[in-house]
Amino acid sequence: MTKAKEKSSELYKKAQYKVPFGTVSITNKAQKLIDTAIESKWLTRGKYVQEFEEKFAKLFGVKEAVAVSSGTDADAIACAVLYDYGAKRGDEIIVPALTFVATGNAVLQAGFKPVFVDVKRDTLNIDADKIEAVITPRTRAIMPVHLMGKPADMDRIMAIAKSHNLYVIEDAAEAHGALYKGQKVGGIGHMGAFSLYAAHIITSIEGGMLTTNDPQMAEAMRSLRNHGIVNKFEFKRIGFSAKMNEIEAAVGLGNIEIFNDILNQRRENLLYLIAQFKKFEEYFYYIKEEPGEKIGPHAFSIIVKPNMPFTKDEFVAFMDQRGIDSRNLFYSLPTQCSSYEFLGHNLGDFPEAEYCSNNGTHIGIHQDLNEEHMDHVIRTVGEFIKKW
């Protein structure tokens, strides 16, 4: 075998994870709708997009849902809606330091300045106790991120926002189906933003969805996703080119039909791992479900505790050798991403976010996995611990 073939073979073997990180569900209904859309030759935003929006709004208990081309665009458009409510370019939006880079990027793309707040290590979400300290006369909104599908502290966040006359934009990219004190995430703040990327519970392969209970905000969202257009050819706002197409909507409609099946399987996997990981509490922080909340599971986070005899990298390498795929637990955007150096933060400014990034990973718990896969994870973690 040549070296090239050997390398190709090794890459192929590595790809065959026993517990892959992500999956995507494309139903027979979606395939039929795709065929119909292609036959009609109407592939830009049309009846399937509208139907998808209506069904998404009903499923998530909101009055309005607006489909866009990505979760990042959903965040950016939600921010840009604030210009209709007195915001100026260069104003500030508060976001957690630990999040996927799209959250911070979207704030900048909309013309605002992201102001970062550290997170809580045990929840991975923004530390509500630290929000008021960064509010200034130029603050316009708070954007909590429900990381890994775990709801942020929305009572505190909404109370702070109300007392300072701020808006709340929920980044619910990973939180499909999450509940906070009986309320569906994405419908608690003034606006919600969902990602419909392939790895998420409802997917359109690529795509995003905005939610709100305010028809005026929804009108602005629809204008902003299409270059700021109003009426037939009048441009009222500085907008985006962020429309969803009919093919994506068809995939999304198929996922809406099986939403509860996907959610229930993911929750089974999540709750099983939470229960089994109690035996490893000495070694790891891991995502937990608190009273009054239901996590909308995206992945299972694992963070190595301080003063352990092993590192996160050693743990991840061992898991990978046993066929368990994983991803780093994001980064502290202001201090661990070079693209944010211009904001002038220094390493150490956000110690909790930095700790989670340096010592954390997350693994898949998606609908193509079951208890057998979760048992393999538990056995592997147990084997790793015994080494030390």
The token pair at 50 is 């509208």
311 and 203 part of one domain:
no
Residue that terminates a domain, selected from 257, 281, 299: 257
- pTM exceeding 0.85: yes
CATH number at residue 139: 3.40.640.10
Residue that terminates a domain, selected from 257, 272, 302: 257
Q: Provide the CB-side half-sphere exposure for 298 (13 A, CA).
A: 25
191 and 323 part of one domain:
no
Is there a domain that residue 18 lies in?
no
Is there a domain that residue 21 lies in?
no
* Secondary element (H or E) of residue 98: strand 98-99
Is there a domain that residue 199 lies in?
yes
Q: Provide the terminal-to-terminal Cα distance of the chain, rounded to the nearest Å.
A: 38
Inter-residue contact 176 to 152 (CB < 8 Å): no
Domain tally for the chain?
Answer: 2
Instruction: Give me the domain span that covers residue 134.
Output: 28-257
40 and 155 part of one domain:
yes
Is there a domain that residue 16 lies in?
no
Mean per-residue pLDDT over the chain, rounded:
93
| Residues whose CB falls within 8 Å of the CB of residue 214, separated by 6 or more in sequence, listed in order | 63, 64, 190, 191
pLDDT in tens, 214-258: 999 999 999 999 999 998 889 999 999 999 999 899 999 999 999
CATH number at residue 379: 3.90.1150.10
Q: Which of 369, 337, 382, 346 is nearest to 20 (CA)?
A: 369
pLDDT in tens, 203-220: 998 999 999 999 999 999
Residue that terminates a domain, selected from 239, 257, 275: 257
Least confident of 10-19, 75-84, 230-239, 310-319: 10-19
Helix (H, G, I), strand (E, B) or coil at 151: coil
> What does the pLDDT average to over 189-198?
97
> What does the pLDDT average to over 284-302?
97
304 and 340 part of one domain:
yes
pLDDT in tens, 312-366: 999 999 999 999 999 999 999 999 999 999 999 999 999 999 999 999 999 999 9
CA trace torsion 168, 171, 175, 176 (10° rounding): 90
